[in-house]
Chain A
Amino acid sequence: MSKTYMCEPDIIAANENVMPDLNNDLVMAKNFLKQQCAATGDTLYDHLVDIVHKIISQRPPDVVDSFEQYSWQVKQEKFRPNFDLLNDIYLSPPQLAIVRRVDEMFRLVASKSQRLEDVGEEEQELDLEEDSFKPRIADLIDHNYYFREGGYGLPDSECYAVYIALNMLAIKEPVATVRFFGKIFGTKANYYVAEVDLTIEELDRRIREFEMKDMPGEGEGLEEDKAQELEEQKEMVGEGEGKEEKPKEPVPPKLPEIPVSTFQPPPPIPVERPGQGVNKKVFYVCNQPGEPWICLPDVTPDQIRVARLTVRCMTGDLDAEVLTFPPFEGTERNYLRAQLARIQAATSISPQGFYTYGSGEEEDIDLEEGAGDMAFNPNPFYQGHTLKDLVDPNLTYWVHHGRYILNQGRTIWWNPNAGMEEGLEEEDDEGPPPLTPESGPSLFSPLADDARLEGGVAWTPRSSTSLLPDRSIAVLRSNVWPGAVAYSNVGKKSECLYVGWGLKAQPPNFSPLQLPRPQDEYVIGPEVMEMADPTFADEEAYRIAHLPPPPPPELPGEGEGFPEEEEEED
Chain B
Amino acid sequence: MNVHKLWEYKEYVNVNGMMLSSELISLLQNSLTLLQVENHFLHVQYWGQLYAIDADYHIAVGINNDAINDRKYFYTTDFKFWGLLPKAKKKYKHLSLLATYPFRGDPSLKIKVLDESLEDTNPDRCQQMKEESRLAATISNICEEAEICARGQLLKQPDGTTVINPNYYGLTAAEAKHLKSYQHIRIPQHRWNSNLLTRPDYNYSVDFLDSVDQDIPNGCWNLSLEQNGSVAYLKSLYWPGMMYFHKIRTPEVGFLYVGNGRKNLDVPFLL
Chain B hits for A507, CB < 8 A: 100-101, 262
- Give A311 to B147 CA distance when docked, in angstroms: 25
Indicate with 1 or 0, residue by residue over B1-36, a CB within 8 angstroms of chain A CB atoms: 000000000011010111111011000000000000
Chain A 118-166 residues near chain B, CB threshold 8 A: 147-158
- Give A499 to B19 CA distance when docked, in angstroms: 11
Residue of B19, B230, B265 with highest tally of chain A CB at under 10 A: B19
Interface segment out of the listed A14-22, A477-485, A541-549, A552-560: A477-485
- Give A461 to B154 CA distance when docked, in angstroms: 39
Is A222 in contact with chain B by the CB < 8 A criterion? no
Check if A479 sits within 8 Å of B19, measured CB to CB.
no
Is A512 in contact with chain B by the CB < 8 A criterion? yes
Check if B19 sits within 8 Å of A151, measured CB to CB.
yes
Check if A454 sits within 8 Å of B260, measured CB to CB.
no
Check if B224 sits within 8 Å of A313, measured CB to CB.
no
Indicate with 1 or 0, residue by residue over B71-106, a CB within 8 angstroms of chain A CB atoms: 000000000000000000000000000001110000
Check if A94 sits within 8 Å of B173, measured CB to CB.
yes
Known contacts A187-B222, A467-B23; is-contact A311 B11 (Cβ 8 Å)? no
Is A276 in contact with chain B by the CB < 8 A criterion? no
Check if B240 sits within 8 Å of A455, measured CB to CB.
no
Check if A148 sits within 8 Å of B21, measured CB to CB.
yes
Check if A509 sits within 8 Å of B102, measured CB to CB.
no
Contact residue among A182, A183, A313 (Cβ-Cβ distance under 8 Å from B237): A313
Chain A 449-464 residues near chain B, CB threshold 8 A: 453-457, 460, 462, 464
Is A312 in contact with chain B by the CB < 8 A criterion? yes
Is B259 in contact with chain A by the CB < 8 A criterion? yes
Is A510 in contact with chain B by the CB < 8 A criterion? yes
Indicate with 1 or 0, residue by residue over B238-271, a CB within 8 angstroms of chain A CB atoms: 0011000000000000000001101011100111
Known contacts A66-B155, A455-B100; is-contact A311 B167 (Cβ 8 Å)? no
Check if A482 sits within 8 Å of B228, measured CB to CB.
no
Query: Which residue of chain A has its CB nearest to the CB of B23?
Result: A465
A349 to chain B, nearest CB (A): 15
Known contacts A150-B21, A456-B102; is-contact A68 B205 (Cβ 8 Å)? yes
- Give A530 to B21 CA distance when docked, in angstroms: 76
Is B188 in contact with chain A by the CB < 8 A criterion? no
- Give A148 to B20 CA distance when docked, in angstroms: 8
- Give A510 to B227 CA distance when docked, in angstroms: 33
Check if B166 sits within 8 Å of A62, measured CB to CB.
yes
Check if A455 sits within 8 Å of B102, measured CB to CB.
yes
Indicate with 1 or 0, residue by residue over B213-241, a CB within 8 angstroms of chain A CB atoms: 00000010010100111100001010011
- Give A501 to B237 CA distance when docked, in angstroms: 9
Chain B interface mostly: loop
B253 to chain A, nearest CB (A): 17
Is A65 in contact with chain B by the CB < 8 A criterion? yes
Chain A hits for B260, CB < 8 A: 479, 482, 505
Residue of B167, B260, B271 with highest tally of chain A CB at under 10 A: B167
Check if A69 sits within 8 Å of B266, measured CB to CB.
no
Contact residue among B157, B228, B237 (Cβ-Cβ distance under 8 Å from A65): B157
Is B128 in contact with chain A by the CB < 8 A criterion? no
Chain A hits for B229, CB < 8 A: 94-95, 98
Query: Which residue of chain A has its CB nearest to the CB of B225?
Result: A94
Chain A hits for B20, CB < 8 A: 151
Indicate with 1 or 0, residue by residue over A53-82, a CB within 8 angstroms of chain B CB atoms: 000000011100110111010000000000
Chain B hits for A156, CB < 8 A: 11
Chain A 480-521 residues near chain B, CB threshold 8 A: 482-483, 485, 497-501, 503, 505-510, 512
Check if B23 sits within 8 Å of A510, measured CB to CB.
no
B47 to chain A, nearest CB (A): 16
Is A445 in contact with chain B by the CB < 8 A criterion? no
Chain B 163-177 residues near chain A, CB threshold 8 A: 163, 165-167, 173
Check if A95 sits within 8 Å of B271, measured CB to CB.
no
Check if A66 sits within 8 Å of B167, measured CB to CB.
yes
Q: A95-B230, A156-B11, A455-B100 are in contact. List 15 more A-B contacts (CB 8 A).
A: A65-B163, A66-B165, A94-B229, A95-B228, A151-B20, A154-B19, A155-B12, A183-B17, A312-B270, A453-B101, A457-B53, A482-B16, A482-B260, A483-B16, A485-B17
* Chain A to chain B contacts (Cβ below 8 Å), 28 pairs: A61-B166, A62-B166, A65-B157, A69-B167, A69-B205, A72-B203, A95-B229, A98-B228, A147-B17, A152-B17, A152-B19, A155-B14, A156-B11, A157-B11, A158-B227, A183-B17, A188-B224, A311-B266, A313-B237, A456-B53, A464-B23, A465-B21, A479-B51, A479-B102, A482-B16, A482-B241, A503-B240, A507-B262
Which 8 A/B pairs are nearest by Cβ-Cβ distance? A455-B101, A499-B17, A95-B228, A509-B265, A456-B102, A313-B270, A510-B266, A151-B21
Q: Which residues of B contact A (CB under 8 A)?
A: 11-12, 14, 16-21, 23-24, 51, 53, 56, 100-102, 155, 157, 163, 165-167, 173, 203, 205, 219, 222, 224, 227-230, 235, 237, 240-241, 259-260, 262, 264-266, 269-271
